[in-house]
Chains A and B, each alone.
Chain A
Amino acid sequence: MALTIAAIPWGVMAILLPLVGALACFLSPRRANPLGLVTAFGVVACVAGLAWQVVAQGTQRYAIGGWGAPLGIDVYADGLSVLMLMATAVVGLGISVYSNSYFKRDKAVNFWPLWLFLWSALNALFLSADIFNLYVTLELLGLAAVALVALAGGADALTGAMRYLLVSLLGSLAYLLGVALLYHSFGCLDIALLAERMEPSPAVLAAVGLMSAGLLLKTALFPLHFWLPPAHASAPAPVSALLSALVVKASFYILLRLWLEVFPVTAAALGQLLGLLGAAAVLWGGLQALRQTRLKMLIAYSTVAQLGYLFLAFPLGSTIAWQGTLYLLLSHALAKAAMFMAAGNVLRFGGHDRIVDLDRVAQRLPLTVTAFALAGVSIMGLPPSGGFIAKWLLLEAAMLSGQWWWMIILILGGLLAAAYVFKVIGYAFTRAVMTHEARAVPATMEWAALALALAAILLGLVAPWPLALMEIGLPFGGEAAG
């Protein structure tokens, strides 16, 4: 048995390693920090290996237990899943480094196992080809996320976590009922097989409705977003980062998968509705963000708005539109994580995140402010940044499809974003003289935020490469990229 590098199932490794790491951290709480960090780097390596495999050998399908669908569960990796995994790896690494300094011993003991379980769940979710297995990963993800939110303690965090838990359970139950209907209609759970056997029927329609509703609830699409801001704003900074950057994207990813492969026969009409809700989210989220008085709430509402963009592609449906959506997803993951980390630094330094009192703090944390500003550039969709590329692709798609009204939404959303980002950045420039005093914020926390923000900017300069990766396995249907 020769396990050459090429033969190692890196995808499976990326699922198992964090699982093992979580167990290790749980068994030896005293070494949670080093163990967690090592695991984080290991997972990044695994994802890199998988990416290399997919680029070199094309899509990867791996039959766990050697049974293969429909009896067993398959793990499947194409360009789409690899990109999600890579975004998770980059953000995850940043969060791990950040948290290493953020949490005190007693919290760290609880943080690391939960976070590694969550990471494992994310990787498993992005690789799963089986709709019931997806349900299990969703639940693992949801419970870990809730526990992490509650980690902050205090009334806000606990009620936020409670609401989040109920919503997340409701969502997964709706999804599970849909799974039941699909299974009993076609006798299989594998996405590819379902796609083959799919034919419209009342049961299928019901399943589409239930699963979409459940996943939209978890993705916090307007008007189902009510639970997101309290949960994301009250969680500890690194947790807010990973919730906004990754967790909400997971349920969206499932929706995207089903939409692209299983539902198209049945769900075309739903597209326009999703587009409208997305547009509403963009505007409503932007306006609410502008109204906020606390930094973390502002960032949370900005997430609501940015999630809205992800749904503008559904009515468009062209490859360019999906590419734009995915690109927005990636750059938002990086930028938003950076923003929440920056907010965390501000909180740590000044003990509050009231926007009107930011000036003194901002003066003394130049790196943090820079991180926030760079992330803001991407969120606004100004060049050069991943956000700009995404916006360009979406605008182009809207233009080509002749549905120009989505362009208006994109532009308005950008203007709103600019308004609320600069509302914060303005406070960096005050007459308060810079004083070099002992900094209460560990350098690693500032640099972690800055690194992710820079990555979001960099994403705007290397676009051809991710776009090429997206094409592997043609997740967006037959035609090549426009």
Chain B
Amino acid sequence: MSPPSLYALVGIGLFTLGLYALIVHTHLLRKILAINVMGSGVFLVLVALAARAREAAPDPVPHAMVITGIVVAVSATALALALMVRVRAETGRAELPEKRPE
């Protein structure tokens, strides 16, 4: 198996690992980190597969996509962290309530 697709497999691994953490952990910081791990997995898949063809130079388009994706991830993370801080300020816990308002 070629190294690129090996990286891609690692990416898949990160994706599912992140998903697991996202579901299992209750603390918001962990959830946010988990989302970021998932994102890194996806980006890894994108760039890794871009270099599948050994002879040619890697495909630039996925790289551009990843850069865009990273910026999006940064923005989302920033917003999420700010929200988390406010949630903690309001509810005293950086967790989502199990019971929902009705």
Contacts and interface: CB of A to CB of B under 8 A. Distances in A.
Interface string A162-183: 1101100110010011011101
B80 interface: yes
A297 interface: yes
Interface stretch (A94-102, A150-158, A193-201, A247-255): A150-158
Contacts of B35: 166, 169-170, 173
Interface residues of B, number: 37
Nearest to B68: A136
A242 interface: no
Interface residues of A, number: 39
B43 to A, nearest CB: 9
Q: For B41, B50, B69, B101, which residue has the most chain A Cβ atoms within 10 angstroms?
A: B101
B38 A173 contact: yes
A135 B86 CA distance: 28
Please report whether the interface of chain B is mostly helix, strand, loop or mixed according to DSSP. helix
A166 B25 CA distance: 13
B83 A165 contact: yes
B18 to A, nearest CB: 8
A147 B39 CA distance: 21
Given A150-B86, A233-B101, A143 B79 contact: yes
Given A159-B87, A169-B35, A180 B101 contact: no
17 contacts: A136-B68, A150-B83, A150-B86, A155-B87, A156-B101, A159-B90, A161-B83, A162-B87, A169-B80, A170-B22, A170-B35, A170-B38, A176-B42, A177-B15, A183-B46, A184-B62, A297-B102
Interface of A: 132, 135-136, 139, 142-143, 146-147, 150, 154-156, 158-163, 165-166, 169-170, 173, 176-177, 179-181, 183-184, 226, 229-230, 233-234, 292-294, 297
Given A132-B65, A132-B68, A139-B76, 13 more contacts: A146-B79, A159-B91, A162-B83, A165-B76, A165-B83, A166-B22, A166-B31, A169-B76, A173-B38, A173-B42, A183-B65, A184-B49, A230-B101
